Amino acid sequence: MRTLIFATNNANKVKEVSGILHEQFNIRTLAEEGIDIEIDEPFDTPDANATRKAETIKSLTGKDCFSEDTGLFVPALGGAPGVKSARYAGDTATSDENIEKLLKGLNGQPDRGAYFKTVVCLLLRGKKYLFSGVCKGNIIAERRGKEGFGYDSVFLPEGSSRTFAEMTMAEKNFFSHRRKAIEKLAGHLENIDI
């Protein structure tokens, strides 16, 4: 089985990505590689942040790897929270605090459109590849559902009457921005010999 390092220690993301890639690849996390660092994400785009993470892990391990960066973009809030989604209400903010700030910002706002964007950066044999996925939807006024993580309880994807947090992982993956990007990654890997 082919092995790739996934430049994250976020258990939720590992579970989601592993569910998409199934048994095709042995996905190793940073912890499994003995790496315990927090990689900064100083840039304004998911592309640049994903690249920074992958390049950092490649320089530490010398191994092929991939990373991802995801943001929730709300046009009515000028694109916020964007790449700062996990730290929207502050560097140590909880998901609940981030959601609360988002809902306050949209209070009385007629346009509640939003989209998640994921960018995956693959570093393989000295080359860089970027794959992206987008899921459009709306931010609802109150939390619904207990599954998922982050903003899932207030994000209603286009074509669904349920939030991400009201879906099983398989149901969420049908719409998921991360699935779209990871499937592009998987399709690329299937077409080359690694």
Query: Which residues does the annotation mark as catalytic?
Result: 69
Please give the structure tokens belonging to residue 89: 């209400």
Other C-beta atoms closer than 10 Å to the C-beta of 193 total 5
State the Cα–Cα distance between residues 169 and 21, nearest whole angstrom.
Answer: 13
| Secondary structure letter of residue 150 according to DSSP | T
State the Cα–Cα distance between residues 50 and 6, nearest whole angstrom.
Answer: 11
Alpha-carbon distance values, 35 to 17, 24, 66 (Å): 19, 24, 15
State the Cα–Cα distance between residues 94 and 88, nearest whole angstrom.
Answer: 9
Say how far residue 130 (Cα) sits from the centre of its chain.
14
SS3 sequence of 72-134: EECHHHCCCEECCHHHCCCCCCCHHHHHHHHHHHHCCCCCCEEEEEEEEEEEECCEEEEEEEE
